Structure 1
Amino acid sequence: MSDASYLGDHVQRVSPRIPVASPSDYVLLLKPRVMSLVVLTALAGIVLAPVPPHPLIAFTAILAIAVGAGASGALNMWYDADIDAVMSRTAQRPIPAGRLEPESALAFGLVLSMLSVFTLGFATNWLAAALLSFTIFFYVVIYTMWLKRSTPQNIVIGGAAGALPPMVGYAAATGQIGLASVILFAIIFVWTPPHFWALALVKSDDYGRAGVPMMPNVLGADRTRLEILVYAVLLAPLGVAPWLMGFASPVYGAASAVSGAYLVWLAAQVYRKREGDAARRASMKLFLFSISYLFLLFLIIVGERALHLAGIV
């Protein structure tokens, strides 16, 4: 073997493996599906403002809130890389799959966090920026670093982070926190436990391997099913509240009532079906419909306000 070939082979064997991340890996860090829901709910907060902001201001606010949500996702993936590596649902995320260094994700998340908060503050007002900053802090520090690994109530308390975007959007448009944004916050806050616990029932083995104290693993599947049903029963009338309080139309009222009743029925099926594939199917059906339920409610609110501002209705 020549010296050159020996040297090349030696370098190849002793050189550390360098992860090569693609742009799509950085997009995955942002949790785009979660970001889409954040954008929609924040937009609902903006359009419910008594006086709509200038379109450029509204666009900048939505962009900053979206970037803040993405920053939260990146920091969450950085801290939870050890958990993600042992869960089948998350093992192929960029960090546990070895495509991205944890330090790169941390730097990416911190830069986006600062950029989003200061952009929102300069473009709108500092109340909105403070709320966005608190949202990022709550999700990353309170939920990800503390609650997620310490209590089966992690989703209940941590759900506040995911419920804040309508308040951030409303504050960006008005400089204050209004009753309408509080109602939207409450809807998302109460929606979060049955949504995530339905998935946790199906993925309890994953959470068990990762040592995450989700409710099915700590208090049992039957207790989780009962909690899901209770929260669904609370959510159904709360979802109708925007119509009852006058900032959504009867169309919204009817859609929210019917979809809320169906959500309760699905939760009842989860409570009733406790064994085998039937239990798994019931839980997944509730999980998937709960996503559609929340998107439907906020899409109607945004659509109605858009038509109103356009002078169509």
Structure 2
Amino acid sequence: MRLRVGRPPHLEERDAVGDPRAHRRARGPTRRQVFGAYVALTKPRIIELLLVTTVPAMLLAERGIPSPWLVLTTLVGGTMAAGSANALNCVVDADIDAVMKRTKSRPLAQHTVPTRNALVFGLVLGVLSFAWLWATTNLLAAAMAVGAILFYVLVYTMILKRRTAQNIVWGGAAGCMPVVIGWAAVTGDVGWPALVMFGVIFFWTPPHFWALAMKFRDDYAKAGVPMLPVVATPVQVAKQIVVYSWVMVAWTLLLLPATGWVYLAFAVLAGAWFLVYAHRLHTAVKRDEPANPMKLFHLSNSYLTLVFLALAVDSAIGLPVLGWPF
């Protein structure tokens, strides 16, 4: 007769009914985990980059330092608007996110947040952003925030993203709106420098996202998203990145009539830095050599931050504007 070797009965009973870890698993996610899932819906890293451009736009509009309260309220409203757009984007793209390795950990792909809850969360954030910006800034800034949400969700996510390789070119316009909203919050209108800043981000978006899409080409292809690297050759994509990079750097110089020497120096040096990397990527791809598009992707974040930081410093210290005619 063989003896059964096991754990003492009292320990087995504890495992069944008394283990705190078992109870936690049975109860589901903790409040902290649920909170983290809802925060993840808003895509905080994307929001950070958007806010980096908002403050310099406000400083340039003031040509100095605007009211700290106005800056704070604009950032809060902008955060809610961007969070709304991103959460609604997650709802529409849940099927895509579940397929792609890069996005399969998102809350709706992991079913950590019910789709209905995510939809309500996104809509409530959008309504709050409008009400908040209208109450603390002005109606123009609030209306443009709502316009950006609608454009990002309805035009980019629901129409362009799955239908055309130019999706990120035109859809990226929504990500350009924070600078215009920041300008409007200070001045109550939309001046030409706001439109130039809009253009800088507009032309920055394709090189930024196409570099990322080159890395995750197979992911996008598997999900059925016709990003340019999916439908074009690497050489064609790299060439387009170079073209948009040159236009972007040239466009930054259109701000010179409203800025000073600090901005000029950084716009030129950072632009040259970006162009070198864009051309290196194109050369490597053309020669069929190993290429790392993620270097350009990460550089693009640093580039945009540096250019707008220089714009902020230039505006805050109040140096005389260059006022160069074009």
1:304 aligns to 2:314 (yes or no): yes
**1:95 corresponding residue in structure 2:** 108
**1:182 corresponding residue in structure 2:** 195
8 Å CA contact 2:262, 2:314 repeated in 1 = no
8 Å CA contact 2:100, 2:219 repeated in 1 = yes
Match of 1:48 among 60, 71, 91: 60
1:294 aligns to 2:304 (yes or no): yes
TM-score, normalised via structure 1 length: 0.87
**1:81 corresponding residue in structure 2:** 94
CA RMSD of aligned residues (A): 2.1
1:31 aligns to 2:43 (yes or no): yes
User: 5+ residue gaps in structure 1?
Assistant: 1-16
Residue 75 of structure 1 deviates from its aligned partner by 0.7
What is the one-letter code of the residue matched to 1:24?
G
- Counterpart-to-counterpart distance in 1, 2:110 and 2:289: 30
Residue 251 of structure 1 deviates from its aligned partner by 2.0
1:263 aligns to 2:274 (yes or no): yes
Residue 45 of structure 1 deviates from its aligned partner by 2.0
Residue 18 of structure 1 deviates from its aligned partner by 7.2
Residue 250 of structure 1 deviates from its aligned partner by 1.2
1:110 aligns to 2:123 (yes or no): yes
**1:9 corresponding residue in structure 2:** none
- Counterpart-to-counterpart distance in 1, 2:278 and 2:186: 36
8 Å CA contact 1:139, 1:161 repeated in 2 = yes
- Counterpart-to-counterpart distance in 1, 2:28 and 2:120: 17
- Counterpart-to-counterpart distance in 2, 1:222 and 1:181: 34
SS at match of 1:95: helix
Give runs of aligned pairs for residues 171-250 of structure 1, distance below 5 A. 171-242=184-255, 244-245=256-257, 247-250=258-261
Residue 303 of structure 1 deviates from its aligned partner by 2.8
SS at match of 1:111: helix
Residue 53 of structure 1 deviates from its aligned partner by 4.7
What is the one-letter code of the residue matched to 2:103?
T
Moved over 6 A (4+): 17-20
Deviations along 1:88-123, one digit per CA (max 9) or x if unpaired, are: 100001110121111111111100000001110121
User: 5+ residue gaps in structure 2?
Assistant: 1-26, 320-326
- Percent identical pairs in the alignment equals 42
Classify 1:147/1:18 alpha carbon distance in 2 versus 1 (closer, same or farther; 3 Å).
farther
Deviations along 1:244-292, one digit per CA (max 9) or x if unpaired, are: 22x332122111111111211111111111277722x2x1111110110
- Counterpart-to-counterpart distance in 1, 2:67 and 2:56: 15
What is the one-letter code of the residue matched to 1:73?
N
Residue 304 of structure 1 deviates from its aligned partner by 3.0
TM-score, normalised via structure 2 length: 0.84
- Counterpart-to-counterpart distance in 2, 1:241 and 1:69: 27
Deviations along 1:134-177, one digit per CA (max 9) or x if unpaired, are: 00101111001111011000010011100111001111111100
**1:13 corresponding residue in structure 2:** none
- Counterpart-to-counterpart distance in 2, 1:43 and 1:31: 19
What is the one-letter code of the residue matched to 1:42?
T
- Counterpart-to-counterpart distance in 2, 1:290 and 1:49: 25
- Counterpart-to-counterpart distance in 1, 2:76 and 2:170: 26
Classify 1:110/1:277 alpha carbon distance in 2 versus 1 (closer, same or farther; 3 Å).
farther
